[in-house]
Amino acid sequence: MIGIKGIASYVPVAGVDNYAQGAKFDKDEEFILGKIGSAFLPRKDDGQETSDLCVEAANALFANNPGLKRESVDVLIVVTQNGDEEGLPHTAAIVQDKLGLPTTVAAFDISLGCSGYVYGIYAIKGFMEAAGLKNGLLITADPYSKIVDPEDRNTTMLFGDAATATWMGEDAPWHLGKAKFGTDGSGAPHLKVSDGVFFMNGRQVFNFALIKVPAHLHELLADSDLQASDIDAFCIHQGSAAIVDAVARRFEGEPEKFIKDMVETGNTVSSSIPLLLEKHVLDSDWKRVALSGFGVGLSWGSAIIYRP
Amino acid sequence: MIGIKGIASYVPVAGVDNYAQGAKFDKDEEFILGKIGSAFLPRKDDGQETSDLCVEAANALFANNPGLKRESVDVLIVVTQNGDEEGLPHTAAIVQDKLGLPTTVAAFDISLGCSGYVYGIYAIKGFMEAAGLKNGLLITADPYSKIVDPEDRNTTMLFGDAATATWMGEDAPWHLGKAKFGTDGSGAPHLKVSDGVFFMNGRQVFNFALIKVPAHLHELLADSDLQASDIDAFCIHQGSAAIVDAVARRFEGEPEKFIKDMVETGNTVSSSIPLLLEKHVLDSDWKRVALSGFGVGLSWGSAIIYRP
C-alpha cells in the first residue's frame, strides 16, 4: 500500500517583516501575531520561478532520503495555481527536466489551492496504484507573491512563499485512511485572480471555513468510527492564526491538539499542511493524525493518516 | 473495479472553413485534407467559457445515461490548460456549480495537453479507488481558440474546440489495462504560451511524436504480453493527419487499425482520444483498444483498454 515515506521543504530565507508591514496598515503586534499569526513572510527572489521552488524542496527530499534515487522516481505531481508558464506547459514537466528525472516519469500539475495537499496525497497514491508505479513525488508550490498586491491590506499580511516535496511509496511509516472532500463553486468569486491580482473576501472565506471545517472533521471521524480522543493531532491549513484558533474552539473535542505553526512562514497555501507534517508529525510517536485543507474554489478536503 | 461507463461530447456547430483558411496561406485542398486532416475547425462563441464547454459535454452525458444522476457524482476532474480564470480558482469548481452537482464532490483540474486523457483516466480511477468514491466525471476541454493566433500558419489550421465527458464507475463495459507514461521537459519550449499567444515548433513536435509514439506502443504491448494482432484498434491523439499516418506507417504491425477521424473537428487536444472512443469504440464489438496521447510538456502516455 502506497503511503507517505518522507517530506522535505524549501522556505526562502528572504522575506517581509510582518510587524513593519502591519505598522504601515496601522496594525499592532498583537494583531499581527494573534490574528494573522505570522511575524515573517518568506518571499522568493524575483528570479526564482515556481519550478525552482519545487526543485529546492525535491533536492532537500533527495538529500534527506538516500534510499530515494532520482532514477527510481516514476511519477511527479505538482500542486499549484501559480505555475511557471501561462497555462502551458505544466510546471511538472519543467521540474522533471530541472531535477534530471528519467523521461519515463508520469508528470502533471493539479490545480488546487489551500485544499491541494489533502487531495494531492490521494491523487498520487491512486494514480500510482492504478498505473502500477512505485515512487512518487508530490510537490506543493504556490508562490502567492506573484499575485498579491502589496498595497492590499486584506492579503499582503497573510501569505508566504514555500514549497514541499513528499515521497510516496511502499513500506511507508504513514498510511492514508479515510478521506472526505467538498467543492462549492458558487463561492469561487471569494478567492480569485483578475488582471493578474489576487482578490480575497476575507470575511466570507473565514465564515466558510468556520462553518465547514469542524463539521467536516466530525463527519470524517464518524465515518471512520473514531472519536476526537483517538486523534493525536489535527493539522489543518494555516490560513491565519484566527481561523486555526476559531476552528479549534468550535471543535468541542480537544482544541489543544490543533497544531498552529505559522509564525515564520505565513499562509503557504497547499504547503501549509505538509510543513506541519514535516516538522511535527513524521518523527513523532503519534499514531493517528487528522488533516483538513480549505480555500480557493471553494474547496475542502479532510483525511486521516495513521501508522499501520 | 472502476472503468469507463460512457462518453459524451460537445463540438460547437460554428467554426472555420479550413479550405478557405488554407487558401489564405496558399495551401490547397490536398494539403488541408491530406496533411492537416481537417476541412472544418469548430470554434466556441466568444461568450462561451471553458466551463460552458464542460457543462455542454456533461449534460450530454447525463442525457445519454439515465442511470447517472447528478446527486450521485462524487468526483469531477477537468483536464485543461485553458481554464476559465487566471490560474485560480480551478475550472472544476466552476463546473460543479454550473452543473448543480452536490457540494460533497471532490473537484480539481489536471494541467496536461494532448496526453491528458490517457493520464486522466488513470488519475480519476486511482483517486476514486484511493478515496472510496463511486461515480466520477472526467471532462476534457482545452479551447485553443483562446490562444491561437489566426495569422500563425503553423497553428491556426490545426486546432478545433471541443469538450468531452467520461463517466467512470463500477460495472463498466471497458476496463483500464496497463499504461505507460513519459515526460521530457527539455522539450517544453516547443509548445508554449507567451504573452497570451500559443507557439508551436511543428517540425520538432512531429519528430518527437514519430520517434516516441510507435516505440512507446510497442513497449506497452510487450509489457502486456500482447501482439499488435491482439489489438482491435489504435486510437491515438489526432494531432494532424500527417502524424497519425506517419505513426501508423512506422508501426509495422497493422497500420490500417489506426483510426483517423478529424475531418470535422481538427486537433481537439485532450478531447481527441475520447471523441474517437465515443464515436468508434464504445458501441463496437471490439475487445481491446490501444490509446496514445502526446504533446505539450513534452508529455506522452499510452494505455490499453479492454472489455472484461
CA dihedral (B19, B21, B26, B32) positive or negative: negative
Q: What is the DSSP letter of A70?
A: G
**Using omega within 30 degrees of 0 as the cis cutoff, is the peptide bond preceding A41 cis?**
no
| Averages of pLDDT over each 10 residues, chain B, 308 residues | 97 97 96 97 97 98 97 98 92 98 98 98 98 98 97 96 98 98 96 93 94 96 95 97 95 88 98 98 97 97 97
Confidence of residue A254 (pLDDT cuts 50, 70, 90): confident
Question: What is the distance between the alpha carbons of residues A184 and A187, in angstroms, rounded to a whole number?
Answer: 6
Q: Say whether pLDDT at A264 is over 90.
A: yes
Question: If you count residue pairs, one on A and one on B, with CB atoms under 8 Å apart, how many are there?
Answer: 234
Mind listing the pLDDT tens digit for each residue in B178-225? 999 999 999 999 999 999 999 999 999 999 999 999 999 999 999 999
Q: φ, ψ for residue B76 (rounded to 5)? A: -140, 115
Domain final position from B113, B138, B169? B169
Residues A146, A66: one domain? yes
* Count of the separate structural domains present in chain B: 2
| Residue with cell string 450521485 | B72
User: Is residue B180 within 8 Å of B299, Cβ to Cβ?
Assistant: no
Inform me whether the pLDDT recorded for A252 exceeds 90.
Answer: no
Q: Residue B188: which of A89, A103, A112 has the nearest Cβ?
A: A89
| B160 and B217 together in one domain | no
Average pLDDT for residues A246-257, to the nearest whole number?
88
Q: Which residues pair with B77 in a beta bridge?
A: B108, B138
Global confidence as pTM:
0.98
A117 and A74 within one domain: yes
Q: Are B57 and B141 in contact (CB under 8 A)?
A: yes
Contacts of B76 in chain A (CB under 8 A): 183
Do A18 and A95 sit in the same domain of this protein? yes
- What secondary structure does DSSP assign to chain B, as a single string? --EEEEEEEE--S-EEEHHHHHHHTT--HHHIIIII--SEEE---TT--HHHHHHHHHHHHHHH-TT--GGG--EEEEE-SS-SSSS-S-HHHHHHHHHT--TT-EEEEEE-STTHHHHHHHHHHHHHHHHT--EEEEEEE--GGGT--TT-TTTTTTB---EEEEEEESS-SBEEEEEEEEE-GGGGGGEEEETTEEEE-HHHHHHHHHHHHHHHHHHHHHHTT--GGG-SEEEE--S-HHHHHHHHHHS-S-GGGB----TTT-B-GGGHHHHHIIIIITTSS-SEEEEEEEETTTEEEEEEEE--
Same domain (yes/no): A299, A240: yes
Domain ends where: A169, A201, A224? A169
Query: CA A90 to CA B188: how far, in whole Å?
Result: 9
For residue A92, the enclosing domain spans: 3-169
Give A148's contacts in chain B (Cβ within 8 Å).
Answer: none
- The half-sphere exposure of A163 on its side-chain side, counting CA atoms within 13 A, is 34
Mean pLDDT of the A112-127 span: 98
- How far does B305 lie from chain A, in Å, by closest CA? 13
- The CATH number assigned to the domain holding A65 equals 3.40.47.10
Whether B233 and B182 share a structural domain: yes
- The model's pLDDT over A45-89, given as tens digits with 9 standing for 90+, comes to 999 999 999 999 999 999 999 999 999 999 999 999 999 988 899
> What DSSP letter does each residue of A141-172 carry, written as one string?
E--GGGT--TT-TTTTTTB---EEEEEEESS-
What pLDDT sits at residue B127? 98
Q: Is there a cis peptide before residue A274, judged by omega within 30 degrees of 0?
A: no
Residue A96 has a pLDDT of 98
Q: Are strands B135-141 and B75-79 parallel, antiparallel or unpaired?
A: parallel
In a shared domain, residues A197 and A260: yes
* Nearest-angstrom CA–CA distance, B290 and B222: 13
Among A113, A136, A169, give the residue marking a domain's end: A169
Of the candidates B89, B90, B185, the beta carbon closest to that of A94 is on: B185
Residues sharing a CB contact under 8 Å with residue A245, sequence separation 6 or more, in sequence order: A260
Chain A residues within an 8 Å CB radius of B108: 110-112, 116, 119, 123, 299
**How distant, in Å, are the alpha carbons of A50, A277, A296 from that of A270?**
13, 12, 11
Would an 8 Å CB–CB cutoff place B15 in contact with chain A?
A: no
Residue A121's pLDDT is what?
A: 98
What is the interface pTM, i.e. ipTM, of the complex?
Answer: 0.97
Residue B87 confidence (pLDDT):
82
CA distance A169 to A2: 5
**Confidence at residue B106, expressed as pLDDT on a 0 to 100 scale:** 98
Phi, psi of B166, rounded to the nearest 5 degrees = -115, 130
A61 and A159, same domain (yes or no): yes
